[in-house]
């Protein structure tokens, strides 16, 4: 069971240090834990979580190892910092920054080639869901990815991200089972995961963990979700 906290554009180095020092003190045996801070906070997270089983991942990664790509970060740069993995294809990258299935796949491939662990995000919008296109969207988004021992998929229905809405456990299970018919990987659920719904979601047979957004910013909330995973 894997629980990853995506901090998005929150927590500079000082807040990251405070969080990581607190996280070190938690008893979280029995669950794989990953924190995904902003780029500027990766180094302090790596430093303070060294010697623990808690991994640090970036929120994005470029497909070239170097080049004239202002504002981007490469996989070798992340490896040099001691970063364990990266998220690719998050819906916010698709919505706000022009990410496509193809560019997300290029990022995933480059990161895997460099030895990073990858969380590749997929999921339908509310309009696509209402048109009954969920499986078509997932099939398209997954068609550009290949199974890899270091790849996991995060199913994040876009309509549930940051909205307070959450897929029902049954609908999450259905989507996860469908993803696994297309790609032989573990599948995390993301989309308004909170302490009060984590246990029910994580108890579904094809839900292998969670990619947690807002609830990962608070130490108590995040550790409660991790403990729910241990009990699942």
Q: Which residues are catalytic?
A: 90, 156
Quick one: average pLDDT of 219-232?
96
Residues 6+ apart with CB under 8 A from 144: 101, 102, 104, 105
pLDDT for 167? 79
Cα three-residue angle 45-228-9, rounded to 5 degrees: 35
Class of domain 2-231: alpha beta
Residue 138 DSSP symbol: H
46-90: per-residue pLDDT in tens? Answer: 999 999 999 999 999 999 999 999 999 999 999 999 999 999 999
17-55: per-residue pLDDT in tens? Answer: 999 999 999 999 999 999 999 999 999 999 999 999 999
Closest residue by Cα to residue 166 from 95, 104, 175 = 175
Residue boundaries of the structural domains of the chain? 2-231
178-197: per-residue pLDDT in tens? Answer: 999 999 999 999 988 999 99
Give 117's Cβ-side CA count (13 Å radius): 18
Closest residue by Cα to residue 201 from 159, 135, 154 = 154
pLDDT for 149? 97
CA dihedral of 123, 127, 131, 135, whole degrees rounded to 10:
0
Quick one: average pLDDT of 6-11?
98
pLDDT for 165? 72
- Tell me the longest C-alpha to C-alpha distance in the chain: 48
């Amino acid at each position: 069971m894997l629980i990853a906290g995506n901090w998005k554009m929150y927590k500079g180095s000082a807040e990251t240090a405070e969080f990581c020092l607190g996280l070190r003190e938690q008893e979280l045996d029995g669950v794989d834990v990953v924190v995904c801070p902003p780029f500027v906070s990766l180094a302090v997270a790596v430093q303070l979580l060294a010697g623990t089983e808690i991994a640090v991942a970036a929120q994005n990664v470029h497909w070239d190892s170097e080049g004239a790509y202002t504002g981007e970060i490469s996989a070798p740069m992340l490896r040099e910092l001691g970063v364990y993995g990266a998220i690719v294809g998050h819906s916010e990258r698709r919505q706000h920054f022009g990410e496509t299935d193809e560019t997300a796949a290029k990022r995933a491939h480059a990161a895997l080639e460099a030895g990073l662990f990858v969380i590749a995000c997929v999921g339908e919008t509310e309009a696509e869901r209402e048109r009954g296109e969920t499986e078509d969207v997932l099939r398209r988004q997954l068609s550009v990815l290949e199974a890899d021992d270091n790849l996991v998929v995060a199913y994040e229905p876009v309509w549930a991200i940051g909205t307070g809405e959450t897929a029902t456990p049954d609908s999450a299970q259905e989507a996860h089972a469908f993803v696994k018919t297309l790609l032989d990987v573990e599948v995390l659920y993301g989309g308004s995961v909170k302490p009060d719904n984590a246990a029910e979601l994580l108890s579904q047979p094809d839900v292998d963990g969670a990619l947690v957004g807002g609830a990962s910013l608070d130490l108590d909330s995040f550790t409660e979700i991790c403990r729910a995973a241990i009990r699942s």
